[in-house]
Chains A and B, each alone.
Chain A
Amino acid sequence: MVLEGVRKAMRLGKYKYSFIFLAPALFFILILYFMTIWTIAMSFTDWTFGSKEAHFAGLDRYLELSAEERFWRNVYNNILWLVFFVIPSTLLGFFLAFLMEISAEKLEPYLRPLFLYPTALSFVVTGVLWSWIFDPRRGVFNFVLANYLLEVPVLREVLQVMGITKNSLPLLLDDPDRAIFCIVMAAMWQYTGFAMLLFLAAFRESLLRQLIEAAMIDGAGALQLLKHIILPNMKHAFLIVTCLLAIFSLKVFDVVWVMTRGGPGYATEVLAVYMYVAAFAQDLLAKGCAIATIIFSLTAVIIVPYVYYAIKRWFGL
């Protein structure tokens, strides 16, 4: 013990100056924080691209935004993302992991890369691929609908009740009310594999394994196993996946921009798209800062507790 103490003391002496290891990274991190504070500060001004100097304008930008129907539509769309992207992706990811876990071991080396591969793509590429599928005029979805699904007798009746016939195919990306769900589906295609990976990792926890084995020996069925052993022991994985997906969906930009540019009108526009439009197309920089600040505050509500929790747990600090 004494020796250990001596060693430690020596090491500390020797490594006193090794703080320079962290210095470059820390320098950039300080700049990032400074930028964040700067953006928040500028959101209280009347700064535009043309103005020479910015004047303090209190909450004017926020009041301006809150009076806009467009802004509330963006908030509503972000909430739609939270509900219709985060929850289905999490459940689907879990479901996939569960299916893979109980299917033959030989399959996994083929299935895992298949579902994970979209994670390695960019949202731009995902957006382009799915734009072709959901293109209302000649896209794949409507083609399959018109040429295959509407040929099936029973299905035709069902679709007809929903108002879908060969002459009135769904408008998909041109439909103001439903276009957002097309975009959400594209994002789900990309992110479900990521959720699946985290759940697969959680399934391989040795404690969970032992519990599963014990329950199997006691004769538990697959559903019982799921309900009483797996779900209660995977809370951590569920928390991580929902938090990460929620953070993503609050700042989603690329895939919306590529697929619809927020259109038709601003039906699919989210806060991040409006921020970009305000700052770079309308030159209303202070307004852009205000929207960015709102995005930041919303994500911070999730990020701060998440990081606190994750660091405590993952690094055992």
Chain B
Amino acid sequence: MKSFLIRAMKALHEPRKAVLKLLSNFKVKLIVVYLLLGIMCFFWLMPFYVAIVTSLKTHRETYTTNVLQPPSQVYIGAWIEAWKRVSIPFFNSILVSIVSTVACVLIGALGGYYLARFRFRGAEQLFFLIAIAAFIPYQVLLIPMTMLLASLGLFGTHLGLILAYIMLFSPWAALISSAFFLAIPKDFEEAAFVDGASPLQTFFKVVLPIALPGILSTTIIIFMNVWNEFFFAVSLITNPALRTIQPEIANLRGTTTVAWNTLMAGSIIGTLPPTIICLMLGRYFIRGLLAGTLKG
């Protein structure tokens, strides 16, 4: 049976002419609609605009000139300063995010496939337990995670942080990917089974290629979450040289010596990977977001 999720995803990309045509009778009211939309767009764009404009000003200009006006002369000093500070954390984050995302998606996709395909006694309860696990607030997990990593000798290392992320996000990867596996017809697997393929062969050679768009969505969502995660990143890494990007940006904000222009440039650098993903693979991101609403 087709789930609500699958229907919703498909529907998001369908034309919606019916409602539109009929509603175009209300010509006068449409002006109000556009006005409201315009105002909201303005408020949503404002922070980005201000951030970009501020990052291109000198420290002096940020508070002597009109904050809304572009700089008289483009100044890239803030960007250089910001890059000096966030470049190492940026690459630390890239390393941590990629390794943990790959591990999470691999573990999660295997688990998610199992959840989506095999019906056994207690499947429902198991699904429930996994979903609850994905929702557990991080605050409850932080102290024991610290103790666990310390006892393994991994506290304060990238490997420790990666391990923490794998634990935190693999239930989630399982849930999201299982939503996508549910949408795939079973016929191919049955054919592979008749041909005598083993379950693992079937999974990697038959199911995975068909499920690739879903896996991509899962990967994007997990990557973004790992990249944007702050609570564990700030607690588990104490050495400044190993720090990841989010704690570094927060740290820049905390120090009074850093000017707003540098801070804005640093923040923009910190959003580059999610932005690139959004621009190139926005559709998969949206699908993953929808699938992830099972999780907060």
Question: What is the interface residue range for chain A against chain B?
Answer: 35 or more
Chain A contacts for B254, CB-based, 8 A = 261
Cβ–Cβ contact B294 & A311, under 8 A:
yes
Cβ–Cβ contact A22 & B110, under 8 A:
yes
Cβ–Cβ contact B111 & A25, under 8 A:
yes
Minimum Cβ distance to chain A for residue B84 (Å)? 18
Interface string of A286-317 (1 = CB under 8 A from B): 00110111011001000110011011011111
Q: Is A84 an interface residue (CB 8 A)?
A: no
Could you tell me the distance between the alpha carbons of A270 and B274 in the complex, rounded to whole angstroms? 28
Chain A contacts for B139, CB-based, 8 A = 251, 253, 271-272, 275-276, 291-292, 295-296
Cβ–Cβ contact B127 & A144, under 8 A:
no
Chain A contacts for B118, CB-based, 8 A = 15, 18
A128-B249, A132-B54, A197-B290 known; A202 and B8 CB under 8 Å?
Answer: yes
Question: What is the interface residue range for chain B against chain A?
Answer: 35 or more
Q: Tell me if A's interface is mostly helix, strand, loop or mixed.
A: helix
Could you tell me the distance between the alpha carbons of A103 and B296 in the complex, rounded to whole angstroms? 30
Q: Is B72 an interface residue (CB 8 A)?
A: no
10 A-B contacts, Cβ less than 8 Å apart?
A19-B114, A22-B110, A29-B130, A29-B171, A103-B34, A122-B228, A204-B14, A204-B16, A254-B231, A313-B4
Q: Which of A75-83, A108-116, A162-170 contacts B (4 or more CB under 8 A)?
A: A108-116
In residues 138-171 of chain B, which contact A (Cβ within 8 Å)?
138-145, 148, 166-168, 170-171
Q: Within the complex, which residue of A7, A36, A138, A308 is in contact with B141, where a contact is CB–CB below 8 Å?
A: A36
Q: Is A9 an interface residue (CB 8 A)?
A: no
Could you tell me the distance between the alpha carbons of A206 and B170 in the complex, rounded to whole angstroms? 33
Minimum Cβ distance to chain A for residue B212 (Å)? 18
Most A C-beta atoms less than 10 A away, residue of B20, B168, B296: B296
Cβ–Cβ contact A295 & B137, under 8 A:
yes
Could you tell me the distance between the alpha carbons of A138 and B66 in the complex, rounded to whole angstroms? 10
Cβ–Cβ contact A32 & B141, under 8 A:
yes
Q: Is B124 an interface residue (CB 8 A)?
A: yes
Minimum Cβ distance to chain A for residue B30 (Å)? 7
Minimum Cβ distance to chain A for residue B32 (Å)? 9
Chain B contacts for A257, CB-based, 8 A = 230, 250
Minimum Cβ distance to chain A for residue B37 (Å)? 5
Q: Within the complex, which residue of A113, A212, A307 is in contact with B131, where a contact is CB–CB below 8 Å?
A: A307
Chain A contacts for B210, CB-based, 8 A = none
Interface string of A160-204 (1 = CB under 8 A from B): 000000000000000000000000000001000110011011101
A28-B171, A101-B16, A128-B253 known; A21 and B203 CB under 8 Å?
Answer: yes
A-B interface, 5 closest residue pairs, ranked by CB to CB distance from nearest: A204-B11, A25-B111, A122-B228, A35-B144, A201-B8
